């Protein structure tokens, strides 16, 4: 690597010190910034430039060089983020009057489809809780409700009794941005919730009062962390090898709806996405289903 000029080294050191002092970033994060910026600085040095004298053209040329060398879009986006940040620092320090990164768009990074479960895996997971105990009734009702509605885990554990309408078969959910939506439950979830409310919730509360639908043995509402541990325990029992996240059943809900013919707009409304583009991470599922239907039913498929 070309040796850095002393001015750039001093600029980078001051910038990284500022990251640590002002934002408390971890050692690994700061080292990632260092690697990105020093690589660019070495490139500039080899062309008689520095971080303070480089322009937009120099940055674009370096990005082009990185892409031709086969760098991934995510790596290039991280580099550009690092360089943007040091130039913002230099503007604040009045060492520059313009930002070479202005108007340069970050590379588009494809959004990976979240990990989901097959329908058979979900069935095994739902068989885990023993419904003969109050806690088993609670756990089963939570898992069944989560899969039936596609709620976020925070929405599930935040449900209050006033938001539950089993007679109508819906729940009222206050989602992100304080946006309210009505979500249908389905027969299996209604039955699970009825059983829990009749045989489980009161036994867990033991005379204590709570507005929360799903309560802990302390009489308080279930926490996200506690429910996450419950999911992992039943996943181990069901011998599910798929890596789980707190939103795995939410993703399974959306995936299985699309597999059975639901349209994206309906799934968007049920998930509580304010923008359809958020739901479009699932579009390839819909496309694969259409391909399969075409292959199975079209005479030339």
Catalytic residue among 66, 78, 247, 256: 247
pTM assigned to the model: 0.58
Catalytic residue among 115, 176, 236, 287: 176
108 assigned to active site: no
The pLDDT tens digits for 240-269 are 887 777 678 888 888 888 777 777 777 777
196 assigned to active site: no
180: left (phi over 0), alpha (psi -120 to 50) or beta: beta
152 assigned to active site: yes
Catalytic residue among 78, 85, 138, 250: 250
Domains of the chain in sequence order: 6-92 (1.10.150.130), 119-296 (1.10.443.10)
The pLDDT tens digits for 88-141 are 999 999 998 888 888 887 776 656 556 778 888 989 999 999 889 999 999 999
**Secondary structure of the chain in HEC code, one letter for each residue:** CCCCCHHHHHHHHHHHHHHHHHHCCCHHHHHHHHHHHHHHHHHHHCCCCCCCCCCHHHHHHHHHHHHHCCCCHHHHHHHHHHHHHHHHHHHHCCCCCCCCCCCCCCCCCCCCCCCCCCHHHHHHHHCCCCCCCHHHHHHHHHHHHHHHHCCCHHHHHCCEHHHEECCCCEEEEECHHHCEEEEECCHHHHHHHHHHHHHHHHHHHCCCCCCECCECCCCCECCHHHHHHHHHHHHHHCCCCCCCCCCHHHHHHHHHHHHCCCCHHHHHHHHCCCCHHHHHHHHHHHHHHHHHHHHHHCCCC
Catalytic residue among 62, 87, 196, 282: 282
Q: What pLDDT was estimated at residue 160?
A: 93
282 assigned to active site: yes
The mean pLDDT value of the chain amounts to 84
60 versus 273: the higher-pLDDT residue is 60
Q: What pLDDT was estimated at residue 110?
A: 59
The pLDDT tens digits for 209-236 are 999 999 999 989 888 888 888 888 999 9
């Amino acid at each position: 690597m070309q040796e850095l000029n002393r001015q750039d080294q001093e600029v980078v050191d001051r910038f990284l010190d500022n990251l640590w002092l002002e934002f408390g970033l971890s050692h690994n994060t700061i080292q990632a910034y260092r690697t990105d910026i020093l690589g660019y600085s070495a490139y500039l040095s080899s062309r008689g430039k520095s971080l303070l004298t480089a322009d937009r053209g120099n940055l674009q040329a370096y990005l082009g060089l990185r892409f031709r060398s086969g760098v991934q879009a995510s790596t290039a986006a991280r580099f550009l983020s690092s360089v943007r940040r040091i130039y913002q620092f230099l503007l604040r320090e009045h060492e520059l009057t313009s930002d070479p990164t202005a108007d340069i768009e970050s590379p588009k990074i494809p959004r990976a489809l979240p990990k989901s479960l097959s329908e058979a895996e979900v069935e095994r997971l739902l068989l885990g809780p023993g419904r003969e105990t109050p806690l088993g009734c609670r756990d089963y009702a939570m898992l069944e409700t989560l899969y039936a509605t596609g709620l976020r885990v925070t929405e599930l554990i935040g449900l209050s009794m006033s938001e539950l309408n089993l007679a109508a078969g819906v729940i009222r959910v206050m989602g992100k941005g304080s946006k309210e939506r009505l979500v249908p439950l389905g027969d299996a979830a209604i039955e699970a919730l009825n059983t829990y409310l009749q045989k489980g919730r009161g036994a867990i509360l033991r005379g204590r009062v709570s507005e929360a639908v799903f309560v802990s043995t302390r009489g308080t509402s279930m926490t996200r962390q506690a429910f996450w541990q419950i999911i992992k325990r039943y996943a181990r029992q069901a011998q599910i090898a798929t890596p789980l996240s707190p939103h795995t059943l939410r993703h399974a809900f959306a995936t299985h709806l699309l597999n059975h013919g639901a349209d994206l707009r309906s799934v968007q409304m049920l998930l509580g996405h304010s923008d359809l583009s958020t739901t479009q991470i699932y579009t390839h599922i819909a496309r694969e289903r259409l391909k399969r239907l075409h292959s199975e039913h079209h005479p030339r498929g």
